[in-house]
Structure 1
């Protein structure tokens, strides 16, 4: 099975009555000069009641074990352990709207009565099989961020976790994917993320903005010697 074998069969207009996940809205507002204007927008119809966010993105950094891993460890786990470098967990997933396999961080929608941290732990386990530990010292959860505020109301919080490879449950992870989910996990050293994004884009992958922006930030920090 190859993710690249997925193909778009047809594209049709979607009526409001057929839409299960989205709705279109016309917003009338006044600008700074008190002139009335109209804006077209989209919003999710699935945000959990009482939640301030639609979903979470997960920045998961592998933390190698100080001890040798068992021979039964997953090949990706062995690869990260052998690198000896901080590596980020990424995913490849076909996305119909862009008709391409996307490079993404693990992510998902927030359920009712669920915090960002709880949603992140659940989604990480379901999509990748790994168990993560929330980063402390004020960097565990980001502020609320808007995916594309000129177009839609969709928002999220990024949750930052480490994956401790010394824990047995992380040495041979078992994802719990839904029937319509086809996800491949891989890891990239953080220091190489920008170069890897350029390489993957040339190979025909679509780079999710969360991954690309993170890669740019790391590259900027390297080039301008930020500490």
Structure 2
């Protein structure tokens, strides 16, 4: 069986064409300058693997080529140089870009507006039915979702969730505390307010995200994900009291982090409950094993013994 490797390399344009034959043909390829070392390194390693597989003696130049471009690839990765796109590539991207044209209001109520979005695509003008919130007070996002962790001495860290009835689903949902951002309010401030109103707990903001989409195929609504720590040993959180509106009926749920995924599965077996997607994704990132006790808890156990 024969093996042939041929390169045509242009240093000025960093364009490479390669053809490999070993009973099959490796497709002709053209790559831009920022892909040059990665492409050659990958291709050279591929050819070397063929030599190794069929127990052939690889040419010294090919081995040198692989080592040289492997080194260059590592250097580029270390320097974290930004990729420089070819002008032709940028031109093609611009031609493929979609853009909004106009919004058509089909029906409007107090909180929501049903609209038809008209937009331009490479294949012409298209339209999309969507829902938009009528009242948006913040340029960052429509609302906030509060990921609140309850921390107490001699206890495992717990996540604060809420259970409430959602008419669109005609079921109860398990969610994070959440709400809309008021006029003149920042996302962190809104998170602290909503957490206090819905759960009675007062927390400290650790970090917050930019506006992220909730259901991009249906609605323009965005939220800021705000992480909050709650000091469960402080006097202000010893007896939390909710401050709900007259039409709000919310149950507060406290779940140990290591038991969250298992608890969600139990709730998911109830046909009258739907788990919010954000909660489910968050649970999948948590450790499923019970965490080891810290030094203070170990000392407490010894004193108890």
**Is TM more than 0.5 here?**
yes
Could you tell me how far apart the structure 1 residues matched to 2:158 and 2:126 are? 47
1:73-84 to 2 correspondences below 5 Å? 84=155
* Corresponding residue for residue 74 of structure 1: none
Superposed CA deviations along residues 16-72 of structure 1, whole A, max 9, x for unmatched, are 35x1100011111122x3422111111000111x5321100000001103xxxxxxx
1:208-219 superposed matches below 5 A: 208-218=276-286
Q: Which of 75, 83, 107 is 1:16 aligned to?
A: 107
Would you identify which runs of 4 or more consecutive aligned residues in structure 1 move more than 6 Å? none
User: 1:172 pairs with 236, 239, 252, which one?
Assistant: 239
Query: Are positions 1:101 and 2:172 aligned together?
Result: yes
**Correspondence for 1:45 among 130, 134, 144:** 134
Deviations 1:77-134 (A, max 9, x none): xxxx6xx211100111011110111101100000000000100011111111110011
For residues 285 and 233 of structure 2, the distance between their equivalents in structure 1, rounded to whole angstroms, comes to: 29
State the distance in 2 between where 1:144 and 1:16 align: 26
Q: Which residue of 1 aligns with 2:10?
A: none
Deviation at 1:163, TM superposition (A): 0.7
Provide the secondary structure at the position in 2 that maps to 1:126.
Answer: helix
| 3-state secondary structure, aligned to 2:208 | coil
Structure with greater proportional helix content: 2
Which of residues 131, 147, 150 in structure 1 aligns to 2:202? 131
- Whether 1:62 aligns to 2:150 is yes
Matched residue, 2:185? 114
Inter-partner Cα distance in structure 1 for 2:205 and 2:117: 38
Task: Select the residue among 237, 255, 261 that pairs with 1:188.
Answer: 255
1:25 is matched with which residue?
A: 115
User: TM-score scaled by structure 1?
Assistant: 0.76
* Cα distance in 2 between the residues matched to 1:21 and 1:173: 30
Structure 2 residues not aligned, in runs of 5+: 1-105, 290-305
Equivalenced residue count is: 183
Q: CA RMSD in A?
A: 1.7
Mean alpha-carbon deviation: is it higher for 210-219 or for 96-105?
Answer: 210-219
> What residue ranges of structure 1 are gaps of 5+ in the alignment?
1-14, 66-80, 223-227
Superposition TM-score, scaled by structure 2 size? 0.57
Distance 1:89 1:51 in 2: 27
Task: Report the Cα offset of residue 218 of structure 1.
Answer: 2.6
Q: Is the 8 A contact 1:51 1:112 kept in 2?
A: no
